[in-house]
Copies of this chain bind each other. A is one copy, B any other.
Amino acid sequence: MFFASDNTGPVAPEIMAALTQANSGYAMAYGNDQATTELTTRIREIFEAPDAVTYLVSTGTAANALALATLTQPWQAIFCSRDAHINVSEANAPEFFSAGAKLVAVDGPSGKIDPRALETAMSAIETGGLKNTQRGPVSLTQVTDFGAVYSLGELRAVTGVAKAFGAQCHMDGARFANALAALNVSPAEMSWKSGIDALSFGGTKNGLMGVDAVIFFDPAHAQEFQLRRMRGAHLLSKHRFLAAQMLAYLTDDLWLNLATRANAAAARLELALATVPELEFQHKRDANMIFARWPRHLHQRAKAAGAQYGPGQEGSPGGGGGDLLSARLVCNWVTTDAEIESFAALLRA
C-alpha cells in the first residue's frame, strides 16, 4: 500500500537493461557520446520538431529551474499556479537559478492557471515602468500538482494570454507522459502546437532512475542553456547513462506504457475509494493522482496498517462539519490491484 509518490518506486526493467548495455568500454564524457546524439534525433521525431534541442539533468527541479532561468531575466516575474511545484516544493530554486526573479502566484482550479486570472496578473504589471517587476514567462504544470490535466483547449487558453503579452511559455512536464496518456493526443499537440516554448520532460517519476530532459523548440536557447547547466553543476560527466535511460524510455512506447499503467491503477483506486462511505474526493482524477479526505480515525487505521501516502491540501475541514483530513495518493506503474483493494478495504472497514 505505497501511494506516497511516483518517485518512490523502482526503475523499469527495460531501463536497468539499458544501463547494463551502456556500461561497456569508454564513452566521451559530458554528452559527447553517441547515445546523446541519438536522443536529440529521437526527440525531434517524437515531437515532430526538427529544430528542437534536448538536454538531460538528474532532477526535475533542475529541469524546471534551468529552463526557466534561460527564459527569464532577473528583474522579471514568472507566472505560475499558486500550487505549482516550482512555487511551493523547490526551495526557491527558480529564484536561485534566475538570479532573483519573482514568482507570481495565479489562481485556478485544481492547480491549473485560470486564463482570466493570468490576464489580470499580467495586466497588473505596468508596461514600460521601471520600478515594478517586469513581465516574464508563464509556467504551466501538466499534470498539475492536484492531479488535473489541462485539455488542449485549456492549455491554449493559457498560452494565448501569455502570447498576447509577448511572454514565453514553459511546461513543467514532470508527469508529461501521464498527461499525454490521459489526453491521447500527440506530443507535439501537447507542447509546441499548444504554445509551449520550453518543456521539462519528466522521466524520474515514470520509471527512470533520475533523468529529466529539457526540450527547447527554438534552438536559439541552446548555448545559454548549456552554460547554465554546466554552471549549475548539472552536466553529468558519465552522461551516456542518462542518455541510455532516456533512449530506452522512448523506445517501443515504454514511456507511454508505464504512464498508462499508472493512470489505470489510479482509475481502479478511484473506483475502489468511491465505495468508502466517509471519503470525499477533492479533485477530479485525470491521471495517476487522487486527492481525497476522510476522517482522522481512518487515517490512523491506514497508517497503522502500513499504508504510505502524503498529506494533500492543508487544513481542509470537511464541508459537513466533520474532522476530515486530506491525502494525496499517487499510483505508479507497479501499483497492484492487491494494494488498491487492501487500502480501500481498510478505509471501508
List A residues at the B interface (Cβ < 8 Å). Answer: 2, 4-5, 7-11, 16, 19-20, 23-30, 57-62, 64-66, 73-76, 88-93, 95-103, 105, 123-124, 130-134, 204-205, 209-210, 226-228, 230-238, 241, 308, 314-315
Contacts and interface: CB of A to CB of B under 8 A. Distances in A.
Nearest to A237: B7
A30 B4 CA distance: 12
A226 B90 CA distance: 13
A61 B232 CA distance: 9
A84 to B, nearest CB: 12
Contacts of A228: 75
Q: Which of A16, A60, A64, A88 has the most CB of B within 10 A?
A: A88
Nearest to A226: B130
A78 B137 CA distance: 23
Given A210-B238, A238-B209, A95 B91 contact: no
Contact of A238 (B20, B204, B314): B204
15 contacts: A10-B24, A59-B234, A64-B233, A66-B233, A75-B227, A90-B233, A91-B131, A96-B232, A98-B100, A105-B105, A130-B226, A205-B237, A209-B238, A209-B241, A232-B233
B23 A93 contact: no
A2 B25 CA distance: 9
A88 B132 CA distance: 6
Nearest to A120: B315
Contacts of A91: 75, 130-134, 227, 230-231
Contacts of A64: 233
Nearest to A242: B210
In the A-B complex, list the 8 residue pairs whose CB atoms are closest, starting with the nearest: A95-B100, A62-B233, A7-B237, A61-B233, A91-B230, A99-B99, A2-B26, A96-B100
A96 B230 CA distance: 11
A134 B223 CA distance: 12
B10 A25 contact: yes
Nearest to A208: B238
A23 to B, nearest CB: 5
Nearest to A59: B233
Nearest to A85: B131
A29 B3 CA distance: 12
